[in-house]
Every structure is written in C-alpha cells, then in structure tokens.
Amino acid sequence: MPYNKAIHNRQSIRLQGFDYSQEGSYFITICTQGHQPLFGEIIMEEMVINQTGKIVNDQWFQLPDRFNGIGLDAFVVMPNHIHGVISIIESLPGQTIGKIVGAYKSLAANEYLKLCKSNNLTVEKLWQRNYYEHIIRDEDDYYRIVEYIENNPLKWNEDQYR
C-alpha cells in the first residue's frame, strides 16, 4: 500500500507546548496490543495477575530505582492495560514522562520476551504503540483519578478497554 499522508500521518495526543519534564503528576494508561488480556483476569471483582501481570507490576515499581526524582502513586494492573500515577518530583535534564513510559514499556516487554522464550510460549506483541496520559491539574483531579484507579477492577464490566 503506498504512503497516504491522510491515513499514515499520526497526530500527537500530547498537549502541544507542554513541558513533560516539569514537576507534576501524570495519570498514565498503557494498553496491550489489540487489547489482549495478557496480564490475568478479573475474578469476583478482583484482579488476579498471571506471570506477565507480575512482570508489568514489578517493572512499574522499579521505575524510581531507574529514574531519579520520580515517585509513584496509585497503580493497577488490569487484564489488558495498566493505570498508574507518576510524579516528577525533581525535574532533571532529558527526563520526560515520555522517556519514563518508553523505558517502562521496553523493560516490561524484554522481561515478557524472556518469560515466553524460557517457557516455549507464543510471543505476542505486549504493548500498543502509544499510551494515554493526563496531566493532573489539582487536588480534586488527583483524588478523582486515584479513586478511579483503585476501583477499576470493580468496574471491569463497564471498562472501555475490555
């Protein structure tokens, strides 16, 4: 298929002109490729993670060891996506939310690949191309997002990523 600018030119979903390296908190959602349920399942309104779910969970909580000046807050692994809050506590040169999320996706995908190879499992592409972020603007926004993350397994039947 020849290149068609109207079809192939992806628009950025980031806020134009915003400095994603500045101090603040960001709500992040990352989905699996094709929304495949690779991380486990919801049983009686609780998320039960599998080995891949454990990988994405563990890699998330290792981010502060890999990036200085960040903190983590509410986080949940769902069957086919993750939600979490990353805070940049200290703005450092070259350290943006995009680089942090990109590193997370890469590290989790590499560990997933190792798991698949060591267990002779079919390798699926782990993550979709992009991710969703929302700049948390104030305390009310923060509490609304934390509540959403914490209650996400309870609302799985209504989930847009399902």
Q: Domain with 49 in it: what CATH number?
A: 3.30.70.1290
Residue 8 in this model has a pLDDT that exceeds 50: no
Q: Where in the sequence is the domain holding 29, given as residue range(s)?
A: 19-151
User: Could you give the number of structural domains in the chain?
Assistant: 1
pLDDT at residue number 11: 46
Segment 84-141, tens digit of pLDDT = 999 999 999 989 999 999 999 999 999 999 999 999 988 889 999 999 999 999 999 9
The answer to whether residue 156 sits within a structural domain is no
Q: Is residue 87 assigned to a domain?
A: yes
Q: Which pTM does this prediction carry?
A: 0.87
Q: Is residue 32 assigned to a domain?
A: yes
Supply angle C-alpha 23, 24, 28, rounded to 5: 125
Instruction: Return mean pLDDT, the chain.
Output: 89
Within-domain flag for 158: no
Give domain status of residue 117, yes or no.
Answer: yes
9, pLDDT greater than 70 = no
Q: How far is Cα 47 from Cα 144, in angstroms, rounded to an integer?
A: 20
Q: Is residue 6 part of a domain?
A: no
Whether 1 is covered by a domain: the verdict is no
